Structure 1
Amino acid sequence: MLYPIFIRCRFAIKLTFAVLLALFVGFHFQMETPRWSALTAAIVAGGPAFAAGGEPFAGAIKYRGMLRIIGTFIGCIGALVIITTTIRAPVVMLLLSCIWAGFCTWYSSLVKVQNSYALALSGYTALIIIVGIQTAPLTAPQYAIERCSEIVLGILCAILADVLFSPRSIKQDIDRAVDRLLLDQYHLLMLCLNNAPKEDIDKSWGDLVKRTTALDGMRSNLMMESSHWTRCNRRLRAMNTLSLTLITQACETYLILQTHPEFVNTQLLLLFNEPVVTVADIHKRMKLMRQVIADTPARRTPHTLYTWVGTATRFLLLIKGVKNNTRISKIEEQVLEDQVIVAAPSAEHHHALINGLRTGVATALGFLFWLWTGWTSGSGAVIMITVITALAMRAPNPMMVCKDLLYGMTAALPVGAVFYMYIMPATQQSLLLLFISLGVLTFIVGFAVQKQILGSIGLMAGTLTIIGLTNPMSFSINGFLDGAMGQIIGCALATLVVMLIRDSSKARIGRVLLNRFVFGAVSALSTNKARRRENHLPALYQQLFQLLTLFPSDIAKYRLALMLIISHQRLRTVNIPVNADLSAYHRRIRATADRVINARNEIRRGEHFNRLLEEMGIYRQKLLDYDAPAAVIEPVERLTDTLLRYRHALSG
């Protein structure tokens, strides 16, 4: 019990140190607005902790800081370009800043989630600079440089605090995760061999997909820590593919046993049904399995069982290297032999467009309201609208981000008032007293952030913004209330925008993902050596994980996706006859499957899908004409039957 409390205290101290150090350096070097550096340190250190629900792993703060630096510099360059080209037309300048913010939000929705932060940040950074120089446009270069320097200072303080206060390494979690992953793989195969209920198998493979995806995310965090883990990174990258292969082989074994229950002999079943507790138990069991399989006629053992044992043996070989981070042996090098990993294309183009429109339209309307009313804090409200609509949309739960900032900014009004009206005037002669008071607030927020209390991040950001912390300090109650109300109203309007401009692309994304599974299956129909080396499995399972996230209770979609992944894996391993006629038909089938994905409406999609079914039927006949082995014809028939049975789900 004491250890978690110590960890939470350590992060709270780390956050406090980062914020206060950024403030101290900012005041020491006479920066005009030291609050920007303190605010940056708080966001860079606190954001990963809120997302993780505890102290973030080593490297997470550094990576987020680097993204923030990149995003800030891109935003500053974008702002300077807009200002220099439209300095004589302020309204056009503001309109272009809205378009820029919408463009950055749109593009951030298409890249990896880990990198989207930099693009979203570049959008509203340009807008903040453009809003800030409205009264003195000629100071834009100086304002941009000051903004960059303050943000870089805050990031460096956050990284230094992370380094000084013993960052939490993810390596031990990875060591436990790889052991658990192999044990769960063994359990899934046991369920498949024993013809367990579909619900149990669905739950087991669904959990395995999530754990495999989580392990790949841990690998990324490990590389953020240090380049010392390069060898581990190579092994873990290969283990990700091996884990996905094991899932596919186990599920295909289940499908084979549905039609050929006589395949598995009693001795093999007894071996698999013996409980295993550790990875060492599996290692011993693998030796016995290889002996039993070698003594069993091939006609009595599913081919997927051979391949499962071989894949699990390679997985076991890599586990030891991951734990010890030793030099890669010649045998391991053969396992790690590079394959062409095909990246998963984004299925969120419509979703990204909605996100960009939300940011661009909401910001433009906010500017019009500001210009029409002349409200002195309208600029603050516009900035909050842009920040929230840019950051919230890429989050798993956009409304939670909106609520966090809305609750936090609302709570920042009374907290900021206490600081602004009582504490700060009383500490004007002592920087130490000011730091003690701010340190107490930051320490409390550090605990709240780790418990994922809504409003904690918003409270810290809102308080640091409205209390000023400029050099020199000035106290204006009207300015304070104006700034606080601008933030609150901006958050409320942004939440309203997210609620009103609804994203109806969920069903569209699900359909595109399913059609990408179809394309992945037919893409394995090839005799080209380079194409057959392409490994689509990580991309297909990444899309399956996205499907699991979008439709957490739609079992039918998962089963269909898994059957198509199994078809891809099976067709990728069979020896398709090599001749010019089949090769030309392979290209034709792939082109038709691609048209199904890119069809603009339901009618065209249905036409292309019917053509795909016809071509699959013709292709099967061609295989018969060319005397292809049954090992090739059977998976083609299974894929065609799957497409026929689920044609409405895939083409609707």
Structure 2
Amino acid sequence: MGWYSIAPVHLRFAIKLATALVLALFVGFHFQLETPRWAVLTAAIVTAGPAFAAGGEPYSGAIRYRGMLRIVGTFIGCIASLVIIIGLIRAPVVMIMVACLWTGFCTWISSLVKVENSYAWGLSGYTALIIVITIEHEPLLAPQFAVERCSEIVLGIVCAIVADLLFSPRSIKREIDRELDGLLVDQYRLMQLCLAHGDRDEVDKAWSGLVRRTTMLQGMRSNLKIESSRWSRANRRLYAINTLSLTMITQACETFLIQNTRPEAFPLEYRELFAEPVETVADVHRNLKRIRRIFSWTGEVDTPVTLYSWVGAATRYLLLKRGVISNTRISAVEEEILNGEPVVKPESAERHHAMVNFWRTTVSCMVGALFWLWTGWTSGSSAMVMIAVVTALAMRMPDPRMMALDFVYGMVAALPVGCFYFLVVLPSTQQSMLLLCISLALLGFFIGIEVQKRRLGSIALLAGTINTIVLDNPMTFEFNTFLDSSLGQLVGVILAMVVILVIRDNSKARTGRMLLNQFVSAAVSSMTTNRARRKENHLPALYQQLFLLLNKFPGDIAKFRLALTLIIAHQRLRDAPIPINEDLSNFHRQLRRTADRVISASSDGKRRRHFSQLLDELDIYQEKLRVWEAPPQVTEPVGRLVGILRKYQNALTDN
């Protein structure tokens, strides 16, 4: 039963991939391109890559967006290669080494930018290296080769987009509408659980699941954004819903934490308000109307602040959710919500990880280049290309070793498959374009099914086979050339994997400590009297860093609880009525400078010293708050923050 339910979707994408390959092949030969295989290879990678990432047929716009990234990356790489060749044409070895450095630099950049844009930078790095090593003996042909490569890649991308449009790409809008309803129901259940002060492990599981789902909804919003411009209004609403969802998680978890020390803060009547179970979003809507009516009687002052804030956020969520589903014109009330607060972008905590990626890519490419120049192996250039491709693309993955292993499996499988096509299929079909297209379509069809199952080595098998079989104009069948090319690919991916294994990435602990210190800095920075700074919305950035922490340390509950506690402290201090005077304002700046020194410290010793200084300054700050008669809404959260920092001082300062 399950096989029949998923088979049509798998078949549709397999046909789409086959169509993209055939279109690229036919158009490439029709326009007498010298190397049509670049167009076919581009169509294959652009179409299959999003399907492998999605584990099925990609949503509408994903293939088009990946194609645009590939065009941008190719053009950047071509321009960089021309600059390198023009500047170093008289020193070929130096020219190749500089191209290796450029590849490493692009990998470093791709490790710091957003994941969805990293593909363009990784591609630009190995594109420049491919051009440099291809024209190493004929540098005057560099401009011609760069133009040809760009045109063939653009042709392949156009064919991939046309094939995607021909077979009705599925829209992600229906999935978003369904997720919005389910997310609100689970948010309500989390608040019920926190108010009832249920099992701590159950609360941890519920809030971490909601963090993941909210992050996933943000990714779905990105897919909707690139799908069509007609969803621009829904996209704006979803951007605000992301903040509202994170606000609700924060308020619910703070409700739970407050009851650890002050259970009397939430009397029984408030718990009974949320006690009624909910199954659908209509149940949540009905309960919220009843709760808002009761809160209008009690007033904001006499209502627990976390409950009042949670209900307000849930109400705005419902309003924007209806707008997302209908995609109607944005009302004045919605516009006020959407323009509420400027969102702050997070700073990368993976700088050390990015530097490791730089050295992995640069060293592997240089080793490959020296091996090629020393041995004079005709297919050493193929090995270099594969080294650059594997290291540039694998470094952004959560597990680069598995990505490299995927390439190894794919290239091993590409050797017999490519041999079969080279010796049997292509010689029998070279007189008939129809038979040639059918043979390539069958290859794309069967691999397209495996790609959707995330079969290890499937994409590398497709790319490796297309790269080694003869799809040039005119076709020539020299077995030595095929064997050299296939072995060059295999040696290249093996060398890349060896480098990844030898140059270990020891940045995991450092990244975790950096993330936790960024949470500390955000909490300290929220103590300010500057109105513009207080209006800045740090919540999406903080939860994005928390999601990275979840991925880096999937089983470390202590780290998650500490990070969530610091996020809650940030939100509470951001809204605290801190007295406005020059003395406190100057001390706020001093606290921020010290917190920045903790993050930027180059050693554990310096970090511990700056952290101790921060704790001493916070003690002075608490005394200043007492002198200036700050209300309990300020002194209590500051005291809780200082207690947290003292308790977890070792975890925040040592690797």
Q: TM tier, shorter chain?
A: over 0.9
Measured in 1, the distance between the counterparts of 2:78 and 2:214 equals 39
Matched to 1:510, the amino acid is G
Matched to 2:605, the amino acid is I
State the match for 1:390 in structure 2.
392
CA contact (8 A) 2:408 2:457 kept: yes
1:403-451 superposed Cα distances (whole Å, 9 cap, x missing partner): 2111111111111111111111111211111111111111000000000
Measured in 1, the distance between the counterparts of 2:519 and 2:268 equals 36
CA contact (8 A) 1:265 1:300 kept: no
Give, in angstroms, the shift of residue 270 of structure 1.
2.6
Give, in angstroms, the shift of residue 260 of structure 1.
2.2
Q: Secondary structure at the match of 2:79?
A: helix
Give, in angstroms, the shift of residue 254 of structure 1.
1.0
State the match for 2:218 in structure 1.
216
CA contact (8 A) 1:22 1:41 kept: yes
State the match for 2:529 in structure 1.
527
Q: 2:124 aligns with which of 122, 126, 136?
A: 122
Give, in angstroms, the shift of residue 269 of structure 1.
2.2
1:37-87 superposed Cα distances (whole Å, 9 cap, x missing partner): 000000000001001100001111011000000000000000001111111
Give, in angstroms, the shift of residue 299 of structure 1.
7.9
Give, in angstroms, the shift of residue 271 of structure 1.
3.0
CA contact (8 A) 1:19 1:38 kept: yes
Equivalent runs, 1:340-359 vs 2, <5 Å: 340-359=342-361
Equivalent runs, 1:104-123 vs 2, <5 Å: 104-123=106-125
State the match for 2:465 in structure 1.
463
State the match for 2:402 in structure 1.
400
CA contact (8 A) 1:406 1:455 kept: yes
State the match for 1:620 in structure 2.
622
1:255-312 superposed Cα distances (whole Å, 9 cap, x missing partner): 2222222233333323312111111111110111123334448787421111111111
Measured in 1, the distance between the counterparts of 2:531 and 2:507 equals 37
State the match for 2:546 in structure 1.
544
1:592-622 superposed Cα distances (whole Å, 9 cap, x missing partner): 0000000000110001000100111111111
State the match for 2:484 in structure 1.
482
Q: 1:606 aligns with which of 600, 608, 619?
A: 608
State the match for 1:563 in structure 2.
565
Equivalent runs, 1:240-259 vs 2, <5 Å: 240-259=242-261
State the match for 2:371 in structure 1.
369
Equivalent runs, 1:150-549 vs 2, <5 Å: 150-296=152-298, 301-549=303-551
Q: Identical aligned pairs, as a percentage?
A: 61
CA contact (8 A) 2:405 2:497 kept: yes
Q: 1:25 aligns with which of 21, 24, 27?
A: 27
Give, in angstroms, the shift of residue 331 of structure 1.
1.3
Measured in 1, the distance between the counterparts of 2:407 and 2:157 equals 21
Measured in 1, the distance between the counterparts of 2:194 and 2:136 equals 67
Q: 1:136 aligns with which of 113, 135, 138?
A: 138
CA contact (8 A) 1:268 1:289 kept: no
State the match for 1:62 in structure 2.
64
State the match for 1:578 in structure 2.
580
Give, in angstroms, the shift of residue 334 of structure 1.
1.5
Matched to 2:417, the amino acid is V
Matched to 1:640, the amino acid is V
State the match for 1:650 in structure 2.
652
Q: Secondary structure at the match of 1:340?
A: coil
Give, in angstroms, the shift of residue 135 of structure 1.
2.5
Matched to 1:380, the amino acid is S
Matched to 1:64, the amino acid is R
Matched to 2:420, the amino acid is V
Equivalent runs, 1:38-49 vs 2, <5 Å: 38-49=40-51
CA contact (8 A) 1:178 1:319 kept: yes
Give, in angstroms, the shift of residue 545 of structure 1.
0.3
Measured in 2, the distance between the counterparts of 1:455 and 1:150 equals 25
Give, in angstroms, the shift of residue 330 of structure 1.
1.1
149-158 or 295-304: which moved more?
Answer: 295-304
Measured in 2, the distance between the counterparts of 1:161 and 1:298 equals 57
Measured in 2, the distance between the counterparts of 1:297 and 1:376 equals 80
CA contact (8 A) 1:263 1:299 kept: no
CA contact (8 A) 2:103 2:388 kept: yes
Matched to 1:37, the amino acid is A
Measured in 1, the distance between the counterparts of 2:160 and 2:589 equals 53
Measured in 1, the distance between the counterparts of 2:283 and 2:322 equals 15
Give, in angstroms, the shift of residue 554 of structure 1.
0.5
Measured in 2, the distance between the counterparts of 1:428 and 1:211 equals 51
Give, in angstroms, the shift of residue 164 of structure 1.
1.2
1:100 aligns with 2:102: yes
1:85-119 superposed Cα distances (whole Å, 9 cap, x missing partner): 11111111111111111111111111111111000
CA contact (8 A) 1:256 1:302 kept: no
CA contact (8 A) 1:427 1:433 kept: yes
1:185-236 superposed Cα distances (whole Å, 9 cap, x missing partner): 1111111111111100100000010000000010000001011111111100
Measured in 1, the distance between the counterparts of 2:499 and 2:330 equals 53
Matched to 1:505, the amino acid is S
Matched to 1:577, the amino acid is P
- Give me the TM-score of the superposition, normalised by structure 1: 0.99
State the match for 1:588 in structure 2.
590
Q: What are structure 1's unaligned runs of at least 5 residues?
A: none
Q: What are structure 2's unaligned runs of at least 5 residues?
A: none
Matched to 2:386, the amino acid is M
Measured in 2, the distance between the counterparts of 1:538 and 1:520 equals 12
Measured in 1, the distance between the counterparts of 2:556 and 2:191 equals 23
Matched to 2:94, the amino acid is V
- Give me the TM-score of the superposition, normalised by structure 2: 0.98
Give, in angstroms, the shift of residue 468 of structure 1.
2.1
Measured in 1, the distance between the counterparts of 2:618 and 2:183 equals 37
Measured in 1, the distance between the counterparts of 2:259 and 2:9 equals 50
State the match for 1:629 in structure 2.
631
Measured in 2, the distance between the counterparts of 1:641 and 1:299 equals 27
State the match for 1:7 in structure 2.
9
Measured in 1, the distance between the counterparts of 2:472 and 2:548 equals 45
CA contact (8 A) 1:185 1:247 kept: yes
Matched to 1:110, the amino acid is L
Measured in 2, the distance between the counterparts of 1:134 and 1:165 equals 42
1:484-522 superposed Cα distances (whole Å, 9 cap, x missing partner): 111111111111111111100000000000000001101
Matched to 1:106, the amino acid is W
Measured in 2, the distance between the counterparts of 1:267 and 1:255 equals 19
State the match for 1:90 in structure 2.
92
Give, in angstroms, the shift of residue 571 of structure 1.
0.7
CA contact (8 A) 1:8 1:447 kept: yes
Measured in 1, the distance between the counterparts of 2:295 and 2:266 equals 10
Measured in 1, the distance between the counterparts of 2:386 and 2:270 equals 63
Matched to 1:384, the amino acid is M
Q: Secondary structure at the match of 1:273?
A: coil
Measured in 1, the distance between the counterparts of 2:199 and 2:296 equals 30
Measured in 1, the distance between the counterparts of 2:469 and 2:301 equals 78
CA contact (8 A) 2:410 2:457 kept: yes
Measured in 2, the distance between the counterparts of 1:432 and 1:303 equals 71
Give, in angstroms, the shift of residue 366 of structure 1.
0.7
